[in-house]
Structure 1
Amino acid sequence: MAYLGITRAFLTWLVLRRTCEALWCNCTTARCEKTGFRCETDGACMASSSLIEGHEQHVRTCIARDNLEPPGQPFYCLSAQGLVTIHCCYSDYCNSIDLQVPSVTSQPGPQGGAGPGASWGTVRLAAVIAGPLLLLCGLLLAGVCVCQHQRRACGTRQRLELEDPSCDNLYVPHDRTLQDLIYDLSTSGSGSGLPLFVQRTVARTIVLQDVIGKGRFGEVWRGRWRGGDVAVKIFSSREERSWFREAEIYQTIMIRHENILGFIAADNKDNGTWTQLWLVSDYHEHGSLFDYLNHYSVTSEGMIKLALTAASGLAHLHMEILGTQGKPGIAHRDLKSKNILVKKNCTCAIADLGLAVRHDSITDTIDIAPNQRVGTKRYMAPEVLDESINIRHFDSFKCADIYALGLVYWEIARRCNSGGATLCGLASWQRPSKLIWRPVLAGIHEEYQLPYYDLVPSDPSLDEMKKVVCDQKIRPSISNWWQSHEALRVMGKIMRECWYANGAARLTALRIKKTLSQLGVKEDVKV
């Protein structure tokens, strides 16, 4: 290696030395006949030998200095073909030597090593061979990854995502009833819903019976599953986000509660032309609190029972349960009488959690970017109507729920009949089979009405509600005769404390629950 370095240095020096001197070389080309087969150059002399179609050919000529790049071992002087030997030199007539014609198996270069042509051919050959092999290996690797992904599809899909068709062999045993599944949910400790494959099996074996309600999202059907009734909320495909959000909230850890609608399953049905998004829950034949109060009046005991259980459900939603199996605080954001169901025992179950938000107390964040104006305009709190609500503070959403709960209490209290029977006060053989029955009872003082019915139209705008609630600071009127009845007097006091313009001054759901529990003891209410 040292010898080669010295040689290159010498050649470089020699080339530079000759830059100002003319170099004479032997020349065998036709252009050199007039000069006696010699040529003059400022570069180098060159001799080459080659074997072309079995014939030896020897060429001697001059190389201009511009072609000597780099000067030490210029490219021009290197063999470009495997069967050519080229030699360059830098003294007068130094190219008179005869070079040995190279063989097929050996292509020595000027320095005695393999020429660049041979090595370049090897690289090309390797590239030609390796390219297809690498492509084949890549395709095989991709195929293996796809197969492994499909095999893991059953066990690794996220919640609410449809399983692979290969999971269809998972089923619910035929001896399991809806009551068994619900019991397992209430005793399993997680309270986060049925396993996904069970949800899918249940949802796809439900037989729809009749429509029991309609809304902006779609329809609600009564369905039958193994002899039991279920409610099926069917969302249109454009409401996919609402469906996913509500199912996600219902499957929050530890959310199951006797005063929150019991979630059973979520699934989608796609027949190739349209998609239905199903949310399956417990069925309550009395329907919503709005429907119930439209058809029936309530006793003071019934009023307290409805109000107490509604507060109990909301308190559980708002409450944060710490621990590994804990529950985040949840705000409803669309509480109203149409989103509260009445169970068979005349207690309430809060439903429709599609607009709810969850609070992460560790990071003090709300899990979705909330819209300041969300829900039903008639039930919006003052701070929601005038957009002064602090959307970064979770307690602000809980306070807005309390305002709406006070309006629901006003709807219930108007239907209170201190004397006379009600639906829940009748014996089972006296109760009507359909909600269209309207009992004629003595002592009913007020018909059912929505809050602010006398101040705004049936479908009020935000500006109309803001004018009444924020600018004029009006609240639903409370009848004077309520003061003569203890239960109604306490209910009126609770309502006023739910309607404060300052959300922080309102009662909490837990405080309302305790107050009504004490009132229920006096009235001997069994919940």
Structure 2
Amino acid sequence: MFQSNNVIMHNYLCRKWFLLLLFVVYRKLDPVEGLKCYCDTTGPSCQNETCETDGFCFASTTLKDGVEKYEYRCWEQESVFPPGDWPIWCQKGDVFCCSTDLCNRSDEPDTTPTAAAWQVVPWIIGLMVLGICAAISFWWAKRSRKMLKRGLGSRPLFPAEDSLCEPRHPILGTATIRDMIELTTSGSGSGLPLLVQRSIARQIQLVDIIGKGRFGEVWRGRWRGENVAVKIFSSREECSWFREAEIYQTVMLRHENILGFIAADNKDNGTWTQLWLITDYHENGSLFDFLTARTIDSATLVKMALSVATGLAHLHMDIVGTKGKPAIAHRDLKSKNILVKSNLTCVIGDLGLAVRHNVSSDSVDVPSTNRVGTKRYMAPEVLDETMDTRQFDPYKRSDVYSFGLVVWEMARRCGALPDEYQPPYHDCVPPDPALEDMRRVVCLERRRPSVPNRWHSDPILSSISKVMKECWYQNPAARLTALRIKKTLANIGAGDLGKM
């Protein structure tokens, strides 16, 4: 892309210089006002057989009834065609044009058009300059294609299997999505170019539906043999779609524990407009689905919890620099918004409610959407509305509280005698709790999910339970930071697991 931009700029400069050269030639050919010509008519414009013009003198020869007839006139500049150039009629054999005083006076005018050497040379030079510019542009374009081809390997730029009706983009070729992300973003995670995003979106085939939510549906799609996840928002959720796509394209956001963003596009299916968000596909589904169907061992528990904490720490961290990353808080962290990769580590997804910290103004960029977080995972200060929404740190502490509940869900499914999967506070509130239910249990009664006795006899579960309890303190300031959680879980993995 960078190379093609250089070609465009180079062509633009060539055209600019050529137009400047044409302007200079035009100024040289532009006759001086007040040119005197011989005329053979009567009237105010021809007195004493002389007329004045800002254009040309001309003489013409016509044959009428076998007799040659001569005419001598002034030719005004406004009547000249093409404007500013040698008149097209002067190129005919029966018309003579000239641009010096009384140059058209002759008993038998020479009707052969003449041009001085200085009038021809600039045009020859102009054509040479244009030819050189065209040759350089062709060489530069060829060189750019070779460099791009080296970046993508030895793949053809336009594969034969593509339909002629499909949108084309040179960078697509037969490259994988991972190739394109690495080539165009240089690992910055700021998102693919919009044209590439649209090209990918228009070539995806939806295969089967894999989930539904309040925003819309999630489908498994196929793009050139690769599985992708397509989140289709309903039209009333446009703000959520736009916000999530905007957050995913934050510079330096791309991380192995953040769901990989591929593209966003709006597609008209003939009845309504679909809003697509295309991400990496993970066949294990959400952490909620995974824990509902499967149990885990101690090593997997630590690996999963550590990967979620690592992703959360990356979100919460601000990277200072000219192209730095702002700190981001998730605001809706739960097991349904965490996906399980094939290696059983996790990635955090669904950033539609995320907020960003603006360091320069110390303000919080809050999305303009009516959606709120999931009540079951809301921190006490969110439930009782005592959180200072003008500051950014309270949002991070709220995320940490939600993370503690997610770890509790994972820990229940671990061990020799794992418990049946249950969501947090399953024994305290209805399946779809209201705000009042959660406020009563979490804020007034200050209850937290119960810790089974069997955890105390297991060194891993015992260590994990200490971490989760430090995540859900009633006082937000007393909770661990995501970075501290990450380091603690890494020590648990290196220490307690190493002894087993």
Give distance in 1, aligned partners of 2:366 and 2:430: 32
Matched, 1:492 2:465: yes
Question: Alignment partner for residue 460 of structure 1, among 421, 430, 433?
Answer: 433
Distance 1:473 1:271 in 2: 49
What residue identity is the alignment partner of 1:407? Answer: L
Aligned partners of 1:293, 1:286: CA distance in 2, in Å?
Answer: 10
Counterpart contact for 1:372–1:389, Cα < 8 Å: no
Q: In 2 relative to 1, CA 471–208 (structure 1 residues): closer, same or farther, beyond 3 Å?
A: same
Matched residues in 2 for 1:467 and 1:191: separation? 42
State the alpha-carbon separation in 2 of the partners of residues 232 and 276 from structure 1.
11
Q: Structure 1 residue 190: deviation in Å? A: 2.5
Residue in 2 that maps onto 1:387: 385
Q: Structure 1 190/311 Cα, relative in aligned 2: closer, same or farther at 3 Å? A: same
Show the counterpart of 2:249. 251
Contact 2:353 2:371 in 1 (8 A): no
Letter in 2 for 1:210: D
Match of 2:119 in 1: none
Which residue of the partner structure matches residue 344 of structure 1? 342
* CA displacement, residues 476-498 of structure 1 (integer Å, 9 cap, x when unaligned): 00112211111111111011111
Q: 1:518 to 1:327 in 2, by over 3 A?
A: same
Amino acid of the residue matched to residue 500 of structure 1?
Y
Matched ranges for 1:157-172 at <5 A: 170-172=169-171
Residue deviations 1:344-389 (CA, integer Å, cap 9, x gap):
0000100000000001111001122678993000000000000000
Matches within 5 A, 1:27-46: none
Letter in 2 for 1:378: R
* Cα offsets for 1:449-469 (capped at 9, x unmatched): 000000000000000000000
Query: How has the CA–CA distance of structure 1 residues 411 and 285 changed in structure 2, closer, same or farther, with 3 Å as cutoff?
Result: same
Q: 1:451 aligns with which of 424, 427, 440?
A: 424
User: Secondary structure of the equivalent of 1:366?
Assistant: strand
CA distance in 2 between counterparts of 1:459 and 1:239 reads 22
The answer to whether the 8 A contact 2:244-2:351 is kept is yes
Measured in 2, the distance between the counterparts of 1:219 and 1:514 equals 36
Contact (CA 8 Å) 1:482, 1:488: kept in 2 or not? yes
Residues 322 and 416 of structure 1: CA distance in aligned 2, closer, same or farther (over 3 Å): same
SS in 2 for 1:387: coil
Choose from 207, 210, 219 the match for 1:209. Answer: 207
* Paired AA for residue 362 in structure 1: S
Determine the structure 2 residue equivalent to 1:58: none
The offset of 1:339, in angstroms, is: 0.2
Alignment partner, residue 259 of structure 2 = 261
Q: Secondary structure at the match of 1:346?
A: coil
Q: Show the counterpart of 1:324.
A: 322
1:118-177 superposed Cα distances (whole Å, 9 cap, x missing partner):
xxxxxxxxxxxxxxxxxxxxxxxxxxxxxxxxxxxxxxxxxxxxxxxxx95535432212
Q: Distance in 1 between matches of 2:241 and 2:367?
A: 17
Counterpart-to-counterpart distance in 1, 2:434 and 2:386: 18
CA distance in 2, matches of 1:302, 1:290: 15
Q: Counterparts of 2:386 and 2:186 in 1: how far apart (Å)?
A: 42
Tell me which residue corresponds to 2:446: 473
Q: Distance in 2 between matches of 1:309 and 1:458?
A: 28
Shift of 1:183: 3.5
| Alignment RMSD (CA, Å) | 1.9
Is the 2:167–2:202 contact (alpha carbons within 8 Å) kept by the matching residues of 1?
no
Structure 2 residue aligned with 1:194 = 192
Asked if the contact 1:337–1:408 (Cα under 8 Å) also holds between the matched residues in 2, the reply is yes
**Amino acid corresponding to residue 201 of structure 1 in structure 2:** S
Residue 455 of structure 2 aligns with which residue?
Answer: 482
- 1:209-232 alpha-carbon deviations (Å, 9 max, x no partner): 000000001000000111110000
Please identify, of 188-197 and 361-370, the stretch whose mean Cα deviation from structure 2 is larger. Answer: 361-370
Amino acid at match of 1:353: L
Contact 2:243 2:367 in 1 (8 A): no
Distance 1:237 1:371 in 2: 13
- Mark the runs of 5 or more structure 1 residues left unpaired by the alignment: 1-166, 418-442
Identity level (%): 64
Paired residues, number: 334
Deviation at 1:445, TM superposition (A): 3.1
> 3-state SS of the aligned residue for 1:457?
coil
What is the letter of the counterpart of residue 508 of structure 1?
T
Structure ID, larger Rg: 1
Partner of 1:16: none
**Cα distance per residue 1:398-457 (max 9 Å; x no partner):** 00000000000000000112xxxxxxxxxxxxxxxxxxxxxxxxx233111000000000
Q: Where do 5+ consecutive residues of structure 2 fail to align? A: 1-165
Cα 1:169–1:447 change in 2 (3 A) is closer
Does the 8 Å CA contact 1:297/1:444 hold for their aligned counterparts? no
Question: 1:172/1:209 Cα in 2 relative to 1: closer, same or farther (>3 Å)?
Answer: farther
Which residue does 2:75 correspond to in 1?
Answer: none
> Structure 1 residue 522 and structure 2 residue 489: aligned?
no
Residues of 1 paired with 2:223 and 2:369: CA distance?
38
Q: Which residue of 1 aligns with 2:180?
A: 181
Letter in 2 for 1:306: M
Q: 1:373 to 1:227 in 2, by over 3 A?
A: closer
Contact 2:168–2:199 (CA under 8 A) maintained in structure 1: no
Q: Give the TM-score normalised by structure 2.
A: 0.65
After superposition, the Cα gap between the structure-2 partners of 1:370 and 1:455, relative to the gap in structure 1 and judged at 3 Å, is: farther
Change (3 A) 1:388 1:371: farther
Deviation (angstroms), 1:189: 4.0
Supply the distance in 2 between the matched residues of 1:408 and 1:190 (Cα, whole angstroms).
29
Q: Please say if 1:241 is aligned against 2:239.
A: yes
CA distance in 2, matches of 1:403, 1:339: 15
CA apart distance, 1:509: 0.4
Is the contact made by 1:218 and 1:236 (CA closer than 8 Å) also made in structure 2?
A: yes
The residue number in structure 2 matching 1:333 is 331
Query: 1:502 aligns to what?
Result: 475
What does the per-residue CA deviation read over 1:26-73, in whole Å, with 9 as the maximum and x for residues that have no partner?
Answer: xxxxxxxxxxxxxxxxxxxxxxxxxxxxxxxxxxxxxxxxxxxxxxxx
What do the CA deviations read for 1:77-136 (whole angstroms, capped 9, x no partner)? xxxxxxxxxxxxxxxxxxxxxxxxxxxxxxxxxxxxxxxxxxxxxxxxxxxxxxxxxxxx
Of the structure 1 ranges 406-415 and 167-176, higher mean CA displacement relative to structure 2 is found in: 167-176
